[in-house]
Structure 1
Amino acid sequence: MSELSAYEIEREANIARNRALLEQLGIKDASVQLGIAPKPKPKTKPVQPAKRLKRERVEETPRRQSARLRKEIIDPNETPAQRRKRVAEAEKRQREEEEERNAAEERARFAKRPRTHELDLAVLTEAEELSDTKLGSLRGIFQTVTNVPTTRRVGDVRDWVFERTNQEDRELEILRSKLGKMKIVARAKVTDNRIYSSACHPEPSKDLVFFGDKHGQLGIWDARATPDEVTDEDGNILPPDDREMGKCWRLQQHWPASPKSSISCIKFDPIDAHSVFTTSYDCTIRRLSFVSSVSHQIFSSGDTLITSIDLPSSGHEMWISDVSGALTHYDLREGEKHARRYELSNNKIGSVSINPTSPHLLITASNDRFVRLWDSRKLQTITLCLLEHDYDHETMQTFMGSTQGRGLMRAEFQHGKSATSAYWDPRGRSIVSTSYDDSLNLWELHAAKYDSLPVFPSFKPLSRVKHNCQTGKWLTLLRAMWNPNPDVYPHFTIGNMQHSLDIFSCKGDLIARLSDRERITAVQAVTCSHPTIVERCATGNGSGRCVLWAPPDV
């Protein structure tokens, strides 16, 4: 045993002297006698395990067995006839097991493949296992919106153009008084995953909002409907939950239910709003009819992800943007075989918007930082010359450099970073764009004024608003969405990273900033406005929870 150091010897002596002193004073066990035990050292709070997602039940396939396990006990007195019978039964069992295994593997492969056939509501809602009553209520909603005619006026470039500034200020004050009073009147978890897109149905008697999520789910929310009664195990009716208001239905519009099926855009039929179009990362566009309650695929881009679509007021054609930098023109009356694809950029085009009053003018925003204005009439020239259906980037660059192609790109503006969206307002006069350079840019153009010029003499923003657009990986991109109502002074909504909803005018004036710190704790990344009611907005966040903003007395 090693000898103790001088310090350790002194330490042991001090401990012995202190112990002897405590025994002389009789207070050695005082804390125990008084019942004052030393406080235990607090334990570190265990890390809570992450919430596990409920996995889909996978049908187990029969497992193969080795010959040793399959070996049967053979009777030594077995006759030749019995042996033939035993061998035949074993071969039959083996064939049945093999067929069952192949069938199970085929079902598993089919479950992962996109569904291109027609799907009715029963199939679309099979994952939710809706009751007949709830499924019937959804059919009733569809019947209600189809029975009411929707007449929407198309805007005009001369709308909301004032000779005096005080007239415009008066309209702004009217909007501020209306929109500034909006509060949260309903909340609900409409989809299971992150919201990617949204749109409000124009039916004025309802606040019917459609949300598309990350896993191809289309959530339909009747925000002002009376919620269904919820009972406990004893059959007692539970009080309504403030977090779940209205009624919602979840339809698996695109399949499989994975990030490969994210719904990137939602548009209603501009003619009667009796059907809804959805685009998905599964490279397809589907149309859900409210009349037949059937969803069917109308377009497939092969293996190219679709980012956005838009339809003119006529409703007979569609422009489609994709991640390869192309625009596709699709006439719904001709079918997808006659669709023509024009590769206009080397980078992803994140959005396409059609001018409502001059449908030949298109605005796009792409990852190469540019917002570009196109004249689609020039594309008819190259179509007549080449008679093809797919024009690559080199062909389009050659065409734009020729005399015939001059004027295809009427104007362009370069952001500091990737441009995420650009949209026309309802009158076809103003444009708003968003970008990762943390800015909202606004233009005011008179389409008729520049119609005779092949290239705009200038394309500089009228106003530039600073706005944080750094959403990162876990939030949907912030996009400025115009209120589609042409009868109200043009304004748009956009989410704020500070958990609020911002509303700006077409000149960049802040009209309202709506927030509720107690009821909203996430970024309202996706926004939309009601097409016929001014004081209605809906927002959605990264968990699938959605909010309806309206006056408190609603």
Structure 2
Amino acid sequence: MNHIKEMTPPADNDDVGGLRRSTRNKARMKLTIFAPTTEVFTRRRMKYSSKDNNKATKRKVTHVDSYIENSDAGRPIGLSSYELERLENIRQNQAFLSTIKLFEAREDLNQTATPKPSQRGRKRNPVCSNSKSSVREVLPPRKSLRLQNKDAESLLLPPKRHAMTSSYKKPSPTQKPEGPILMVPLTQEDWSPLPPELIKLWTEVSVTEEKQALDLKGYSDALKRLRTDKARVVKVVKDRIFSAAFHPCNSRLLLAAGDKSGHLGLWSPDCDWGGDGVLLFEPHLRPVSCMAFSASSDLLSLSYDGTLRSTDVEKAVFDDVYRVRKGLHTFDFLSRDCSTLVVGEWNGDVAIVDRRTPGHVSIYDARFLKSDSIQAVSQLHGHPLSISSAYFSPNTGNRVLTCSFDNKIRVYDTSIITSNAPLLTSIKHDMQSACWLSKASWDPKQEDCFLVGSMERPFKVQVFHETGQLQHSLRDKENLTTMQSVTMFHPSRNAVLGGNSSGRLHLFTD
């Protein structure tokens, strides 16, 4: 290489005592003595610079600034013009980003935390808690028998067991025992009377006034007055909410919710029993898919475990109403006094249950029980995929509301029963999130309107007219931060509830 000055020692010094020296020493000597030229130095700096992060780049720019200032008459030592031009571009870019305050905006975004979900409501059971703060038993230190100058104990091995016997585990029960179950909150070890305020509120006779349906403008204005806040967001059950219901009392609010683990939670925002007005029970062992209050303020809850139970707060028990082994899916009332129920089972069967009789004995004529002779009174066509829910309008039954996994909400006209019910409205709505968004529900006060949760951001609850017109969207950026899988109107008051997948209820009131 012409630009490197050769300073290798004379050849007569290479051999000492007839031994030839290693060439590595020469190379090392060259690397130590000779400084690389500007071109070699530039290539090394470029290779190092490609691995720098933002902080390292800032430090290097500061070093170059001081290096140029201390250079001799503006002539930098060991840097090429390309290296200087590149570092000057970096410095100008850093200055431009500082003028637009990009770094400050990035720090503000990093410091802005996502709103934490409400911690009000159900608390961990202090009796069953396994937290680190619990008091542990202090045991004496262990000492070996050898250190105590004692003979070793002779121990006999236990008899061998069959491999199948040692690995066998008793299967967990699929249902609660038959008969009444005491209403003992999970935060208590032993039974104790329920709060008197709960019993008084539960048994209060609701006064229902005949109200005419509002026009759409007045109805939309009433919806705009609904608000929520931190005090109206509470964790009521442990897991995802499958069902919820309003107590029909209109003097104070009382809400119930059932989750996927079989728990049933009661919450009143105006009371202080339990934790923040929440009481948690476990009347079932699998998801509580359906619940409703009867005309006599009796709460019925149905579970996938095949049990349908009635809540009696005066006796403080969950009583049996109906049970099967195959599992239940949903139910509804067939009479105004709510004494007769229609119950849907997982295998497709439909049972008619009369609560006034403890058992049922029926006589059928086998000559007329032919499956091929059963015909539907009416059919609702147009669903290419599975249907997650279907409900008649609550007061007249003139409409049927269906939700399907083809991302459509449909409204059918059933005012006149025909073999093929006409389709009134088809609304495009994201229903693919089957494990969160499951159904829409009618407003019993304005039965031509319904509400449903939305997957759109920011999260909201939407109210639609049967024609597909959006009436209002309930939202709150601070307190409504999750998708509401279960939504429902209060039967007489201007109030809406929403339940999410973490067991929290959101209450909107005026």
Q: Normalization by structure 2: what TM-score?
A: 0.64
Which digits, 9 at most, give the CA deviation of each residue in 1:400-430, with x for residues without a partner?
2xxxxx5x43223240210010101122212
Matched, 1:426 2:394: yes
- Structure number with larger C-alpha Rg: 2
- Give secondary structure in 2 for the equivalent of 1:411: coil
Q: Deviations over 1:6-64 (max 9, x none)?
A: 9x997985566459x9xxxxxxxxxxxxxxx9999xxxxxxxxxxxx999799xxxxxx
- Measure the CA separation in 2 of the matches of 1:283 and 1:11: 84
- Tell me how far 1:216 sits from its aligned partner: 0.5
Q: Tell me if 1:149 matches 2:205.
A: yes
Aligned residue runs from structure 1 range 384-395, under 5 A: 384-386=364-366, 395=370
Tell me what 2:180 maps to.
118
Are the counterparts in 1 of residues 233 and 479 from structure 2 also a CA contact under 8 Å? no
Alpha-carbon separation, structure 2, partners of 1:227 and 1:140: 8
Quote the residue 1:296 is aligned against: 319
**Which amino acid in 2 is paired with 1:443?**
Y
Q: 1: CA distance between counterparts of 2:32 and 2:430?
A: 65
Partner SS for 1:416: coil
- What residue ranges of structure 2 are gaps of 5+ in the alignment? 1-20, 39-55, 60-123, 131-152, 160-167
Q: For the residues of structure 2 that align with 1:57 and 1:110, how far apart are their CA atoms?
A: 23
Alignment check: 8 A CA contact 1:195 1:476 kept? no
Aligned to 2:412: 443
Letter of the 2:248 partner, please give it: P
Matched ranges for 1:166-205 at <5 A: 171-185=215-229, 186-205=232-251
Question: What's the CA shift for 1:384?
Answer: 4.8
Q: Match for 1:265: what amino acid? A: C
The structural deviation recorded for 1:387 is 8.9
Q: 1:334 to 1:457 in 2, by over 3 A?
A: same
Determine the C-alpha separation between the residues in 1 that align with 2:441 and 2:423.
17
Matched, 1:211 2:257: yes
1:311 to 333, 346, 370: 333
Amino acid at match of 1:142: I
Q: Against the structure 1 CA distance between its residues 536 and 68, is the aligned structure 2 distance closer, same or farther, given a 3 Å change threshold?
A: same
Task: Tell me by how many angstroms 1:385 deviates.
Answer: 3.1
User: Whole-Å Cα distance in 2 between the matches of residues 479 and 432 of structure 1?
Assistant: 9
CA distance in 1, matches of 2:414, 2:57: 78
Equivalent residue for 2:503, pick from 536, 544, 547: 544
CA deviation profile, 1:411-455 (whole Å, cap 9, x unmatched): 232402100101011222121110101111012332xx44xxxxx
Look up the SS of the partner of 1:458 in the other structure. coil
Distance 1:307 1:139, change over 3 A: farther
The equivalent position to 1:254 in structure 2, one of 280, 284, 287, is: 284
2:410 alignment partner, SS class? strand
Question: How many angstroms apart in 1 are the aligned matches of 2:273 and 2:30?
Answer: 78
Report the alpha carbon displacement of residue 224 of structure 1 after superposing the two structures with TM: 3.3
CA RMSD between the two structures? 4.1
Partner of 1:167: none
Q: How far apart, CA to CA, are the structure 2 residues paired with 1:319 and 1:113?
A: 21
5 Å-filtered alignment, 1:84-103, equals none
Name the CA distance, whole Å, in 2 between partners of 1:254 and 1:285: 9
1:222 deviates by 0.4
**CA offset at residue 330 of structure 1?**
1.3
Relative distance call for 1:311 and 1:387 in structure 2 (3 A) is: farther
Equivalent position SS for 1:513: strand
* 1:68-120, Cα deviation, whole Å (9 max, x unpaired): 6249xxxxxxxxxxxxxxxxxxxxxx9xxxxxxxxxx99x8787762323122
Aligned residues: 372
* Aligned-residue offset at 1:152: 5.0
Give the structure-1-normalised TM-score: 0.59
Preserved CA contact (<8 Å) 1:151 1:272: no
Q: Secondary structure at the match of 2:412?
A: strand
User: Following TM superposition, by how much is the alpha carbon of 1:129 offset from its aligned partner in structure 2, in angstroms?
Assistant: 2.0
Q: For the structure 1 residues 461 and 295, does the alpha-carbon distance in structure 2 shift closer, same or farther, using more than 3 Å as the test? A: same
Distance 1:511 1:548 in 2: 19
Secondary structure of 1:129's counterpart equals coil
| Cα distance change on mapping 1:131 and 1:519 into 2, 3 Å | farther
Mapped partners of 1:114, 1:495: distance in 2? 32
